[in-house]
Amino acid sequence: MACVVIVGSQWGDEGKGKVVDLLTEDARGIVRFQGGNNAGHTLVVGGEKFIFHLIPSGILHQGKACYIGNGVVVDPQVLLLEMDKLDKRGIPVGPEKLRISDRAHVIMPYHQAMDLAREKAKGKEAIGTTGRGIGPCYEDKSSRVGIRIIDLLEPDVLKAKVEANTKEKNFWLTQYFNEEPLDAEHIFKQYLEYGNLLRDYVGDVPAELNEIYSDGENLLFEGAQGIHLDIDHGTYPYVTSSNPVSGSVSSGAGVGITRIDDVLGIVKAYTTRVGGGPFPTELEDETGAWLGDKGQEFGATTGRPRRCGWLDTVVVRRSVMLAGITGLCVTKLDVLTGLAKLKICTAYKTPEGDVVDTIPASLERLAQCQPVYEEMDGWNEDITGARSLNDLPDNCRTYLDRMAELCGVDLSIVSVGPGRDQTIVLKNPFA
Ligand code: GDP
Ligand code: IMO
Ligand code: MG
């Protein structure tokens, strides 16, 4: 049996969904352990595109169970819509296929209202959140006033909590943010109904996962966001409100850290970021626009254009350290085809002229750091049909090898297109 964790090593959208779908073949359970429907994970299977926000990316496979762990914040409306969409495409999602932790926290309408109101009030200083209520939901969890999935199944508990929380949030919304109040009774009825619809899917996820593990079967954990969006380790405050690092599998799914065998870090062959915050290798020029266009870099959740730039190995090396990454999965290598020269950031230069390998905690200080680049020759050959390293042009091989060398981790998977089959598997962590 093996437990493998997939994490994003940059600022999200590295292609985690594609890799999870690919590795699901060898797993029995596929588990989300943090984040919520701020995530947008895209799969292309048999030419068909699927985008998942809450449902784990293993759902398209037969005979597998997908789990939403307690560390995830669940918007039941989004979840039910996602299930319905799959059903309409001939992929029914029954309670044997999808399990939801009774302890996961629920995103309520006032969370989304607070998220949007706070962002609006921040003006130019806005974080650029997805506006899905993620931060306010985690706030309530930490403040110990959150509503959990189990509460949706207990009408009296739900009613009392909704009334108390709506009252407080309405105070903030109307008195501080000048927004409209929300109706507690309406919310209560709606969420009670969601509870009824989800009842059969709710269970003790840690117990179910540990049983799979005890039976000697494989578990695959699907990280959301990226390590540099981590609330503790990212570019705070331009981060999300959960911990995308691998360590949160334990707190967010209830599977102990001693069970984890491998952590695969997904690395886009260049860098993107959506929303505000520092991005040292950002290209605000023609090349950045070219990458965005060729890589179709638009947010899978909000449709916003993603900011694009060169690969930053200071960022990835730090993720390797923070998440204990044991293998690299390089994605979107094909997007770089056609560029005459490629740059890789190997270090930062401080205003004092020192060349360093650290990301300062101070954003002011980080803004003063300049990326140090290594330049390499590009390639023009179409690589989307490559299925082994030997199929890649020499310059492409050199770029990949240098990536792995600078990140200090061996390559496990190389992705050369969005399709499930457009992949070179060098080392399957479940093998
Ligand atoms: P995630 O959030 O990490 O799962 O990534 P997203 O799904 O938000 O963004 C990755 C995008 O790149 C998706 O549209 C994928 O279909 C696409 N993609 C994944 N791997 C590759 C690849 O190797 N080449 C190309 N061209 N597209 C890819
Ligand atoms: P996946 O799983 C990219 C970003 C938002 C914003 C910041 C905070 O698809 O990689 P939030 O709504 O979480 O409070 O927003 O985090 N963000 C993501 N960026 N990919 C994601 O998920 C993201 N989830 C959140 O754009 O900058
Ligand atoms: Mg995404």
Residue of the nearest CA to atom 6 in ligand 1? 13
pLDDT higher than threshold 90 for residue 112: yes
Q: Is the CB of 134 inside a 6 Å radius of any atom of ligand 2?
A: yes
What would the pLDDT profile of 293-348 be if each residue is shown by its tens digit? 999 999 888 889 999 999 999 999 999 999 999 999 999 999 999 999 999 999 99
For a ligand 2 pocket test, name from 11, 38, 114, 242 the mutation site with the most ligand atoms within 8 angstroms of its C-beta: 38
User: What's the confidence (pLDDT) of residue 316?
Assistant: 98
Ligand 1 pocket, 9 CB below 6 A? no
On average, the pLDDT of the chain sits at 97
How many angstroms is it from 306 CA to the middle of ligand 2? 11
Annotation says 13 is catalytic: yes
- For range 375-403, the mean pLDDT: 98
- Please work out whether the CB of residue 335 comes within 6 Å of at least one atom of ligand 1: yes
- pLDDT tens for each residue of 221-240: 999 999 999 999 999 999 99
Which of 10, 11, 13, 271 has most ligand 1 atoms within 8 Å of its beta carbon, as the pocket-test mutant?
A: 13
- pLDDT given at position 302: 86
10, 331, 414, best to mutate for ligand 1 pocket (most atoms within 8 Å of CB): 331
128 lines ligand 2 (CB under 6 A): yes
**pLDDT, tens digit (0-9, with 9 covering 90-100), for 75-89:** 999 999 999 999 999
Q: Which ligand ends up closest to the CA of 242?
A: 2
Spell out the SS3 assignment of the chain.
CCEEEEEECCCCCCCHHHHHHHHHCCCCEEEECCECCCCCEEEEECCEEEEECCCCCCCCCCCCEEEECCCEEECHHHHHHHHHHHHHCCCCCCCCCEEEECCCEECCHHHHHHHHHHHHHHHHHCCCCCCCCHHHHHHHHHHCCCCEHHHHHCHHHHHHHHHHHHHHHHHHHHHHCCCCCCCHHHHHHHHHHHHHHHHHHEECHHHHHHHHHHCCCCEEEECCCCHHHCCCCCCCCCCCCCCCCCCHHHHHHCCCHHHCCEEEEEEECCEEECCCCCCCCECCCHHHHHHHHHCCCECCCCCCECEEECEEHHHHHHHHHHHCCCEEEEECHHHHCCCCEEEEEEEEECCCCCEECCCCCCHHHHHHCEEEEEEEECCCCCCCCCCCHHHCCHHHHHHHHHHHHHHCCCEEEEECCCECCCEEECCCCCC
Ligand 1 near 18 CB (within 6 A)? yes
Residue 130, ligand 2, Cβ within 6 A: yes
The ligand minimizing its distance to the Cα of 57 is 1
Q: Does the pLDDT value for residue 430 go beyond 90?
A: yes
Does 186 qualify as catalytic in the annotation? no
pLDDT of residue 1: 85
Does 13 sit in the ligand 2 pocket, CB within 6 Å?
Answer: yes
Ligand nearest to the CA of 36: 2
pLDDT in the model for residue 300: 82
pLDDT tens for residues 144-168?
Answer: 999 999 999 999 999 999 999 999 9
pLDDT confidence bin for 382, thresholds 50/70/90: very high
Percent of the chain clearing pLDDT 70 (strictly above): 100
pLDDT of residue 212: 97
Q: Residue 388's pLDDT is what? A: 98
Q: What is the mean pLDDT of residues 188-196?
A: 98
**Mean pLDDT confidence for 192-204:** 98
In terms of pLDDT, which residue wins out, 141 or 302?
141
pTM over 0.95: yes
